[in-house]
Amino acid sequence: MTKKIIALVGALVLTFTYAIADEGMWLVNMLDKQLYQLMKSKGLKMDQAEIYNDKGGALSDAIIAIDGGSCSGSIISPQGLMITNHHCAYGDVHALSTPENNYLENGFWAMSMDKEIPIKGKSVTFLRRVVDVTEETKFVMDSLAKLGPKGIFFMRKVSGVLEDKYKSSGYEVGLSSMWRGEKYYMYFYETYSDVRLVGAPPVSVGAYGGETDNWGWPQHKGDFAMYRVYSAPDGKPGAYSEKNVPLKAKRYLTISAKGVKENDYTMILGYPGRTNRYTSSFELREKYSILNPVVSGVRRAKLDVWKKYMESSDAIRLKYADKYFGISNYTDYAKWENICINRFGIISQLEANEVRLAQWINANPERKAKYGNVLEDMAKGYKLIADITRVKEYFRESMVRGAEFTGIGQRFNSLIMNAQRAGKDSIFPADSNVIFFHKRVAKKLFEGSDVTADRELFKVMLRYYVKEVPASYQEKEFADLLAKCGGSTDKLADFVYDNSILTDETRLDNFFSSARSTQEMLADPMIIIVKSTGIRDYNREEDNLLTKASIDMASLRTAYTNAMYEMKRELKENVYPDANSTMRLTFGEVSGINAKDAVYYDYRTTTQGILEKMDPTNYEFTLKPQYEKLLRAGDWGRWGEKGKLYVNFMSDNDITGGNSGSAVLNGKGELIGLAFDGNRESMAGDAYFVEGYNKCVNVDIRYVLWVVDKYAGATHLINEMTFAK
| pLDDT tens for each residue of 693-720 | 999 999 999 999 999 999 999 999 999 9
User: Mind listing the domains of the chain with CATH numbers?
Assistant: 3-59+204-277+576-720 (2.40.10.10), 278-381+552-575 (no CATH), 402-534 (no CATH)
Read out DSSP for 108-119?
Answer: EE-SSGGGPEE-
> Phi/psi of residue 176, each to 5°?
-130, 145
Q: Is 46 exposed, middle or buried (0-12, 13-18, 19+ CB in 10 A)?
A: middle
Which pLDDT score, from 0 to 100, does residue 32 have? 65
Buried b (16+ CB within 10 A) or exposed e, 479-490: eebbeebeeebe
pLDDT of residue 180: 75
Helix (DSSP H) and strand (DSSP E) numbers for the chain: 30, 24
Q: DSSP labels for 435-501?
A: HHIIIIIIHHHHHH--HHHHHHHHHHHHHHHHHHS-GGGS-HHHHHHHHHTTT-HHHHHHHHHHH-G
Nearest to 695 by CA among 586, 575, 621, 573: 586
Question: What would you report as the CA-atom Rg of the chain, rounded to the nearest whole angstrom?
Answer: 27
Buried b (16+ CB within 10 A) or exposed e, 629-649: ebbeeeebeebbbeeebbbbb
As a residue count, the chain comes to 725
CA 240 to CA 231: how far, in whole Å? 8
Note the pLDDT of residue 691. Answer: 86
Q: Which residues contact 7 (CB under 8 A, 6 or more apart)?
A: 586, 587, 588, 652, 653, 654, 689, 691, 694
Which helix (H) or strand (E) segment is 91 a member of?
A: helix 86-96
Helix (H) or strand (E) holding 309: helix 292-310
DSSP string computed for 34-58: HHHHHHHHHT--S-HHHH--TTS-S
Catalytic residues: 87, 223, 660
Q: Which amino acid is at 471?
A: A
CA distance 629 to 658: 35
pLDDT digits (tens, 9 = 90+) for 180-190: 788 899 999 99
Closest CA to 85 of 189, 192, 191, 201: 201
372: helix, strand or coil: coil
Distance CA 15, CA 270 (A): 11
* DSSP type of residue 503: G
Q: What are phi and psi of 14, to 5 degrees?
A: -75, 70
pLDDT at 687: 92
Can you give the pLDDT at residue 573? 84
| Mean pLDDT, rounded, of the chain | 92
Residue of 206, 169, 218 lying closest to 613 (CA atoms):
218
> 3-state secondary structure string, 167-223?
HHHCCEEEEEEECCCCEEEEEEEEEECEEEEEEECCHHHHCCCHHHHCCCCCCCCCC
Low-confidence ranges of the chain (pLDDT < 70): 1-32
pLDDT in tens, 36-60: 888 999 999 999 889 988 888 999 9
**Cα separation, 644 vs 608, whole angstroms:** 8
pLDDT at residue 15, as a whole number: 37
- Residue 459 and residue 385 in contact, taking contact as beta carbons nearer than 8 Å: no
